[in-house]
């Protein structure tokens, strides 16, 4: 979730895409965001895949907690 948040912030502020930090964040978040983008169209310039990724990650985290704690 932190990586997705950083990626959103980087895209908003126009972070240098050749920066090693950006490259690292992009590499760890693309496996999550890429598949979401395949079935979810953009709305103009707005990419909603990070928002969907948050919801999916929250559901996965809650399911894992229930399985591990029960």
Which residues are paired to 46 by β-bridges? 43
- pLDDT tens across the length of the chain (70 residues): 999 999 999 999 998 999 999 999 999 999 999 999 999 888 888 889 999 999 999 999 999 999 998 7
- pTM equals 0.81
């Amino acid at each position: 979730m932190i990586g997705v948040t950083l990626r959103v912030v980087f895209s908003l502020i126009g972070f240098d895409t050749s920066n090693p930090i950006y490259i690292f964040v992009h590499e760890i978040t693309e496996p999550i965001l890429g598949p979401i983008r395949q079935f979810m169209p953009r709305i103009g310039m707005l990419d909603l895949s990070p928002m969907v990724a948050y919801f999916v990650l929250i559901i996965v985290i809650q399911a894992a907690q229930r399985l591990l704690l029960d």
